[in-house]
Amino acid sequence: MSTKADFFVGTGRDAKYLGSIRWDGYPEGIDPKILRSRTQKGFEKNVKKFLANREDGTLTNQGESWTWEESIQIIDYAYCFVNNQVMASYFGDTLFNPVKEAAC
């Protein structure tokens, strides 16, 4: 079974969709450079590189696009850059820090 993930800058109606993967979307399957990003520019660069190097990666210029509200209802994980850090949501549940959660 696949674990899907979407990537955003921000959350809610104003979130900017960056792209998706169709498998290994759990925190341990995401490039640590993405999860440890501390700037929006760095996050976007790391996500773009990560998606471009994956067979299952989809970038915004490839036609697919989700809103934050759609993503959190149907995608396993949503990773978002907010307040100078990466946070994640599992099926729309409360945001959590995927680096700290993976360390537990």
Q: Edge-to-edge, what's the strand order for the sheet holding 85-90?
A: 58-59, 16-21, 5-9, 77-82, 85-90
**Domain residue extents for the chain:** 5-103
Burial zone of 78 (CB within 10 Å; 0-12 exposed, 13-18 middle, 19+ buried) = buried
- Supply the pLDDT for residue 73: 74
Instruction: Say if pTM beats, i.e. exceeds, 0.85.
Output: yes
pLDDT, residue 104, reads: 44
Per-residue pLDDT of the chain (104 residues; tens, 9 = 90+): 589 999 999 998 899 999 999 999 999 999 999 999 999 999 999 999 999 989 888 877 655 666 767 777 788 999 999 999 999 999 989 999 999 875 54
User: Which pLDDT score is estimated for 7?
Assistant: 95
Neighbouring residues of 16: CB distance < 8 A, sequence distance ≥ 6:
8, 9, 10
Closest CA to 17 of 25, 26, 7, 30: 7
